[in-house]
C-alpha cells in the first residue's frame, strides 16, 4: 500500500537542490502532477480550475516541447480536461488506469460497473462513520477526503485498511488528506513508462514534478531512467533528487524552463496562446 522506501524511511530530510534548467537544444519530456504541484489545494476537489496564466504557460511549453508534455494525476482524464481545457495533451488519469497518448489514442483499465457500485456503497458507509469526511465517486475507484477534518485521517485509514479484505481486487492509495480505493496493479510510475515508450516522448530526458506519496512511484521510475525527479513541497521521505517549494515555485520554474527552451527563437516571436518568446 505505502510506497515509502524502507531504506530512506528513517533518514533525515534531504537537502535537495532546485531542478536545473534545459539548454535550448534539450530534448526534455515534461510530466506534471496536478493537485499540490501545479495547483494549490482547496477544500472542494470540483472547485479546482487552472487560471488563464497557467493554461497559457502550459500551452506554450507543450508547443516548445513538440507535444512531449503530459499531466499525470489521480484525477480522471475528463476532470483534467475540465481543469485545463486541453484535450489534445497526453495525460495519465486515475493513477494511470486511464492513458491518453499524444496522438490521441487512449487505453483504459475499466472496472465492472456493478463492482464500482458496490465500492461506492462501502465507501459511503465508511465516510458516514467519520464526521467531516466526504467521498468522491471516481467511476473507477473511490476517494475519501479529510481536508475539512484532518484529524480523521488516521482513524479513517485504520478503518479503510480493515475494510480492504472485503474489496478484492482493490488497493488503498493514501494521498494528501485523501485515501483512495483503486483497482490494484497500476500506478503513476508504470503509466509514466508507458507514455515514455510512445511518441513524442520516446528517447527524451524525462522530468517529473509531483508532491505526494502517489508521485513516489513516478520518482522511482524517473531515477531508474536517469531523468530529473522533482518533489514539490516538503513531504519526506522522497525518492526525488530535486525540490521546489510549492505550486507558485513550480509555475515560476516552468516559466524559466519555457524561456530557456525558447532561446534561439526570434525575440518577441508571438506564440499562439499568449506567451511571447523573450530574449535578453
Ligand X SMILES: O=P(O)(O)OC[C@H]1O[C@H](O[C@H]2O[C@H](CO)[C@@H](O)[C@H](O)[C@H]2O)[C@H](O)[C@@H](O)[C@@H]1O
248-257: string of b/e by CB count within 10 Å (b at 16+)? eebbebbbeb
**Active-site residue, from 25, 33, 43, 79:** 33
Distances (CA, A) of 144 to 48, 109, 132, 179, 210: 17, 21, 10, 5, 20
CB atoms under 10 Å from CB of 49, counted, come to 13
Q: Is 197 a catalytic residue?
A: no
Q: Which three cell numbers stand for residue 44?
A: 472542494
Q: Measuring CA to CA, which residue among 111, 125, 211, 218 is closest to residue 171?
A: 111
Asked, as a colleague might, if the bond just before 237 is cis with ω within 30 of 0, I would say yes
Based on CB atoms, which residue is closest to ligand X, 22 or 93? 93
Minimum Å gap between C-beta 97 and ligand X is 11
Contact residues for ligand X, defined by CB under 6 A: 33-36, 41-43, 45, 48, 73-75, 136, 138, 143, 145, 147, 175-178, 180, 212, 214
Terminal alpha carbon distance of the chain: 49
Residue 22 or residue 210: which is nearer to ligand X going by CB? 210
Helix H or strand E segment including 232: strand 228-232
Q: Phi, psi (5° rounding) for residue 223? A: -65, -40
For residues 72 and 196, which CB has a smaller minimum distance to ligand X in the complex?
A: 72
Rounded least distance, CB 209 to ligand X, Å: 11
Of 16 and 48, which has the nearer Cβ to ligand X? 48
Q: Residue 45 Cβ, how far from ligand X at the closest point, in Å?
A: 3
The closest residue (CB) to ligand X is 74
Residue placing its CB nearer to ligand X in the complex, 33 or 81: 33
CB of 269 to ligand X, least distance (A): 32
Contact status, residue 208 vs residue 72, Cβ threshold 8 Å: yes
Rounded to the nearest whole angstrom, what is the least distance from the CB of residue 233 to ligand X in the complex? 11
Catalytic residues: 33
Amino acid at each position: 500500500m505505502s510506497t515509502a522506501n524502507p531504506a530512506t524511511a528513517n533518514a533525515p530530510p534531504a537537502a535537495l537542490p532546485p531542478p536545473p534548467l534545459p539548454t535550448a537544444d534539450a530534448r526534455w519530456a515534461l510530466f506534471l502532477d496536478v493537485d499540490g504541484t501545479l495547483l494549490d489545494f482547496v477544500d472542494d476537489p470540483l472547485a479546482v480550475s487552472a487560471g488563464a496564466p497557467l493554461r497559457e504557460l502550459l500551452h506554450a511549453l507543450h508547443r516548445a516541447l513538440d507535444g512531449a508534455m503530459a499531466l499525470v494525476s489521480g484525477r480522471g482524464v475528463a476532470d483534467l480536461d475540465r481543469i485545463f481545457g486541453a484535450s489534445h495533451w497526453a495525460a495519465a488519469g486515475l493513477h494511470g488506469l486511464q492513458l491518453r497518448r499524444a496522438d490521441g489514442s487512449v487505453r483504459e483499465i475499466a472496472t465492472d460497473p456493478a463492482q464500482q457500485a458496490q465500492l461506492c456503497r462501502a465507501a459511503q458507509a465508511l465516510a458516514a462513520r467519520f464526521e467531516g469526511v466526504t467521498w468522491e465517486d471516481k467511476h473507477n475507484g473511490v476517494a475519501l477526503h479529510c481536508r475539512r477534518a484532518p484529524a480523521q485521517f488516521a482513524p479513517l485509514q485504520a478503518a479503510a485498511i480493515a475494510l480492504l479484505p472485503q474489496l478484492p481486487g482493490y488497493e488503498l492509495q493514501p494521498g494528501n488528506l485523501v485515501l483512495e480505493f483503486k483497482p490494484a496493479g497500476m500506478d503513476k510510475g508504470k503509466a509514466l513508462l508507458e507514455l515514455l515508450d510512445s511518441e513524442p516522448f520516446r528517447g527524451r530526458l524525462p522530468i517529473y514534478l509531483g508532491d505526494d506519496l502517489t508521485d513516489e512511484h513516478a520518482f522511482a521510475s524517473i531515477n531508474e531512467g536517469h531523468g530529473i525527479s522533482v518533489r514539490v513541497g516538503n513531504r519526506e521521505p522522497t525518492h526525488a533528487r530535486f525540490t521546489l517549494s510549492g505550486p507558485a515555485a513550480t509555475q515560476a520554474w516552468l516559466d524559466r524552463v519555457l524561456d530557456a527552451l525558447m532561446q534561439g527563437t526570434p525575440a518577441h516571436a508571438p506564440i499562439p496562446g499568449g506567451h511571447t518568446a523573450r530574449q535578453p
